[in-house]
Structure 1
């Protein structure tokens, strides 16, 4: 009887999926940083009064609201299409500013952070070195995560400039490290 219990346990262990993103040091550390990045971006988004959300600082620029939706759509695309491997096209039409208020824009942005986080938490770390393409570039899935984080940082910095243009002190970065 004891042999059968050991055999069943061995079989169960052999068919169970490998560890998830939470168990991989890179993915675990990335998720901690991702949560901090989300908190900081949402604090920046909250700091801008809604009256300034739909104004672009110059003719060719995006408004504060458009910057948020740009970040959200690229989070969706980088996370699910490039990192996750669905290879779906970017969904610009699902991330429009028109008809949304500040709270809805912030909520959509937070949702995309959370959706990406759930994907990363369940991601098979053995696939981090697989490559996929982006324009003329070939990148590993690990590199797509880093690109995802860089993109958020890049546009969050632009939002901080928008705050400064309105003489609004941005949230202290140190509080979100």
Structure 2
């Protein structure tokens, strides 16, 4: 009887702790963000360097340009809405190598993580001015992830068009 009660109490405490962790939007985002990084890096690694200039059509970005675009959006949203800095879009050279491109993307993910770690949960409810109308900072977080997901989906198509099997999904 005592063992059953201890097991029930342990289960209850675990369930409450688990629920509390999931109720924190910032922590949930950071876990998802790290998985998103891992998956995008795996996709980036899967494409041979010779194919980084691949474009399905002339009007689309190349594989490398897609990655740099994802990085630029991360820089813009995280700096503009989660820091005191004014975002200045830099015209920078496209990295020469696959390794440099992946490092830039990886560093951009880490930059977002650090900024969000230093953002209070209460700040996520703050409303900011956005070009499409007022948004909460939580909506900006969702936009960060949604933008990565959108372009990552395109990169999966690029892999498939080159007969490269995409990596196993990492998302939970």
Q: TM-score with structure 1 length normalisation?
A: 0.80
5 Å matches for 1:110-149?
110-149=106-145
1:78 Cα offset (Å): 0.8
Q: CA deviation at 1:171?
A: 0.5
Partner Cα separation in structure 1 for residue 87 and residue 156 of structure 2? 31
| Superposition misfits of 4+ residues, deviation over 6 angstroms | none
Deviation at 1:58, TM superposition (A): 0.6
Contact residue 83 and residue 145 of structure 1 kept, 8 A: no
Whether contact under 8 Å (1:163, 1:170) holds in the other structure is yes
How far 1:132 moved relative to its partner? Answer: 1.5
Q: Give the aligned partner of residue 172 of structure 1.
A: 168
Deviations 1:67-86 (A, max 9, x none): 00000010011111124354
Contact 1:78 1:148 in 2 (8 A): yes
* 1:138 CA displacement: 1.1
Are the aligned partners of 1:81 and 1:88 in contact in 2 as well (CA < 8 Å)? Answer: yes
CA distance in 1, matches of 2:72, 2:151: 12
SS at match of 2:159: helix
What is the CA deviation profile of residues 10-69 of structure 1, one whole-angstrom value per residue up to 9, with x for unaligned ones?
A: xxxxxxxxxxxx9x8110111000000000000000000001101221110000000000
1:71-116 Cα deviation digits (max 9, x unpaired): 0010011111124354524x2514x42x521000000000000000
Alignment of 1:14-33 (within 5 A): 25-33=24-32
With over 3 angstroms needed to count, the CA separation of the structure-2 counterparts of 1:85 and 1:151, relative to structure 1, is farther
Q: How many correspondences in the alignment? A: 152
Deviates more, 1:127-136 or 1:152-161: 127-136
Please, what TM-score do these two structures have when normalized by structure 2? 0.82
